[in-house]
Amino acid sequence: MIDLRIDEIVEAVGGALVGTPDCGLLVVGGDVHTDSRKVVPGSIFFALPGELTDGHLFVQAAVDAGAALLVVEREQPVSVPQIVVADGLLALSSLARVVVSRVRSSGDLKVVAVTGSNGKTTTKNMLWAILADQGSTVAPLGSFNNEVGAPISMLGITESTRFLVVEMGADAIGDITKLVSIAKPDVGIVLTVGLAHVGKFGSPEVTQLAKSEMVRDLPPTSFAVLNADDGRVSRMAELTSAQLCWFGLDASADVRAIDVDTTVDGTSFTLLVDGYSHSVQLRILGEHHVTNALAAIAATRALGIDVAAAVRALETMTRAERWRMEVMENPDGVVIINDAYNASPDSMAAALKTLAQVTGPERRSFAVLGEMAELGDYANEEHDRMGRLAVRLNVKQLVVVGHNARHIHNAAGLEGSWDGESILVDTVDEAYDVLHGRLRKGDVVLVKSSNSAGLRFLGDRLAGITT
């Protein structure tokens, strides 16, 4: 974070300074945390109340770790300077807004924000790879994209930061609007509108409304980067006054891909943009990541970055993110595709299609599938659809893990004349035992589920990685 005096922070968060500390004391570039375990000397600790616990219970731990300043909703019996606010979450957002505004006014900061039902984190990492070659870049680690994580990511900038990449998720209508009002993006990207987290929103139409908040308030000087292949996203063009830039496979896209091909070594395509044609070889697996790459190229092109430089940066990426289409080969020569950090119907279908593409007739394909969470009333239908898709793609062996994923197994059995090609187990350990006795050199295993199912650790175990 930039250096700020305590009185400046008090004004930014709209709080009251407790005790008689020196208001002019400089908080020098301190990190901002809501988790006391991450606090280091000089950090600012926000004690936020939550559904499961209360950050005020960990104030002493933060002080012991070296916190230089506390932001709390009720005064704490500690000697460290503290600012008491009415709403800690609102105070966090307010501080982020002030910091982003100050850096923007004093430097050359450009902000790129990305949202979508699928692909946010991969696209964020692709943007990071491109922009970091051009100047000091700040982007969140992992999926820091909610009302807490996104402002904390924004607070990581300093006066020397040239690019800020913000991933924006939503649990409710209005969430992205709030984040956009803080970051004021120069480029706003919308990737897809699908069934991910539809249990929270109730329908894809409400999800579309939530994601459209990314571009609704962008000024004419900003760019709205939209997916030409997604009808719900393309309709957002009517809602924004920003300059439009389209990406996708559709012939109308400004940044377009043709001749897409996927092998176990990566994904290739021909990029068409501004009369420019270039062969691109991503080391990241899966046709669906072509969409993410096009979005990143379109966004950085809007910032004036050379397309060839963007392509070179993307080609150096070895993986999208830990546990996202992460390809590993175990000592026995079995290829593991570990994609079990998150799952939605769209991403699971894409992963299954990738498995079929990279396996070919000379290899055996295994799909280990767990629950896709947060689907609400769509859960049974969408799990059923995944089971039928696995059969149609000729997956040789399906292992379904957990009661909540059982409809995948049931549907696979109903789809064709399978006899033992689908196995339902209750636990990750049972799945490992089934696979351990069947896998041989050359097999390709996809492991796919939502994070809550815990299959990502099964993928590591099959690859011989101890976590």
Q: Is residue 45 a contact partner of residue 36, using CB atoms and an 8 Å limit? A: yes
C-alpha 338/C-alpha 12 separation (Å) is 43
Does 34 count as an annotated binding residue? no
Q: Is residue 269 a contact partner of residue 280, using CB atoms and an 8 Å limit? A: yes
Does 122 count as an annotated binding residue? yes
Beta bridge partners of 267: 262, 282
Neighbours of 409 (CB within 10 A): 22
C-alpha 366/C-alpha 434 separation (Å) is 11
Across 60-173, where does the E strand assignment appear? 69-72, 82-84, 110-115, 137-138, 163-167
Sequence-distant (6+) residues with CB within 8 A of 375 are 195, 198, 199, 344, 345, 382, 383
C-alpha 91/C-alpha 236 separation (Å) is 31
Does 121 count as an annotated binding residue? yes
H-state helical runs in 367-405: 379-392
Identify the burial level of 406 via C-beta atoms within 10 angstroms of its C-beta, where 0-12 means exposed, 13-18 middle and 19 or more buried: middle
Does 120 count as an annotated binding residue? yes
The tokens for 457 are 């650790």
The tokens for 246 are 């389209």
C-alpha closest to that of 307 among 281, 282, 271, 283: 271
Does 118 count as an annotated binding residue? yes
Neighbours of 167 (CB within 10 A): 27
C-alpha closest to that of 33 among 139, 144, 180, 120: 144
C-alpha 383/C-alpha 377 separation (Å) is 11
Binding site as annotated, residues: 116-122
Annotation: binding site for ATP: 116-122
